[in-house]
Chains A and B, each alone.
Chain A
């Protein structure tokens, strides 16, 4: 009897396996998607529609009071601000998705501990998180772009490239934020501070609503080091043209470096926290 049972039992060694790294990360995305499917309406609302409210208020409402001039490159304020709002919304989403939700995986829900008790490694888990954030940003950015298009906010097809820029800038910010989340052991009080003292000032002053040439020269470096400014420049270049190739390269390099450094740090701290 037990002899028969022994051979009849399906066994892990026969069908469970270690999947490749990309596949493992993708399975994590699949897990998130399972969740997202149930909540997509409220999510899309908060992540895609919020920047739209800004677009209506600032681009159309406030913008109606702004004369096209040198500061806006001779464009209407709506055209000037639309690409930057896309990137700013993306960056805020990305940072939001990389703080409390990530900390919860380690601390409250502890589902990261569940994932890493399977063949999936902490590095692959991190990869999955980043891809997932990227996909959400792409979805939110696309929704924003489509509706903004109905408002006449775009001048040409360059907006598609601007959405890509928004996703890239967001993911570049998500990587270091995940490193921060992985090193957070308290209730995440620092996240609120990061939002208030880093993210909000960045959104307000890093060239989203007005060119950084308006900032006193002594403080301008603050905008230069902010990832959002680089993203804004690239997105405007994509949507409106007029960006020097060399400058574009510099912006891309900055974001790539941020992503690489942040990603490596996050990887290090994910391992440190999950393999103890």
Chain B
């Protein structure tokens, strides 16, 4: 569905995307994970065929965006990072007008709008101006709008930012169902649980490059340990504790508010720490997540 080789994007002197290779297969959910400014949106916009590449090769749905942009866009659904709804139109009118740009008949657009408002749980707001919707409702409408042409490839740039937990879970469920009907999904996100839930495969981007690629479980196995021991100390006691635990784990990550000990056996490490007379204010043993992979690869925590 998407084939990128040494894909690059420059803005003047600045290189936002520095030669990435991406291969997205039909029917899969593919994720871009990365800190702010990693180049995720720049990549998404190139795939969406609204931003010309500066270098490298790119094929979307088997076509070259430089030459067949409109034909590609006819088959894409796009959820941009920033909503760009027509705020002076009603919810329903937004769907109608947008759908028409895809050459859909009035009847089709009308039927589709009802279906999508149901999907986004906005039916009771159908005739309200978009201006009067809450942020999360606008987001839901943007997502609904992206489906108006029944896209073969759906691009979601941080789709659930601003959604409440219930709406997020609902969206995951809907996206999962779309996937089972054969729609290919490309998602960028800051939420590790979202990536783990939704993505079959993902890449971690940092500074315009791909730092790692694989399925969530592969990445965890490759870049982290089975378990993680989290230790929180009272203020001032963390620093002296660091060197007393370094040999208890394969790797120790020092965060501002806690220590992360990467080890195959978390409980055992905790016992040893206690045996050495360390008295953390609280401790937690958990499984590794993508968050840990991310921390390892980028040296940054995702949740700021």
Q: Which A residues lie at the B interface, using CB under 8 A?
A: 2, 5-6, 8-13, 15-19, 23-24, 27, 30-31, 34-35, 109-111, 113-121, 274-276
Contact = CB atoms under 8 A, between A and B. Distances in A.
B207 interface: no
Given A5-B181, A109-B84, A111-B84, A116 B50 contact: yes
B80 interface: yes
B97 interface: yes
A6 B101 contact: no
Contacts of A121: 69-70
Contact of A109 (B87, B102, B103, B182): B87
Interface string B58-71: 00000000000111
Given A11-B152, A16-B104, A119 B73 contact: yes
B252 interface: no
B254 to A, nearest CB: 40
Interface in B98-150: 98, 100-104, 108, 145, 149-150
The main secondary structure of chain B at its interface with chain A is loop
B130 to A, nearest CB: 10
Given A15-B104, A23-B103, A275-B50, 11 more contacts: A5-B181, A12-B150, A17-B74, A109-B84, A109-B85, A118-B98, A119-B71, A119-B101, A120-B101, A121-B69, A121-B70
A232 B87 CA distance: 38
A13 B101 contact: no
Contact of A114 (B84, B88, B182): B84
Nearest to B9: A276
B70 A119 contact: yes
B151 interface: yes
A23 B104 CA distance: 12
The 6 closest A-B pairs by CB, nearest first: A118-B101, A110-B84, A119-B70, A16-B149, A12-B75, A31-B97
B180 A17 contact: no
Contacts of A18: 70-71, 74, 103
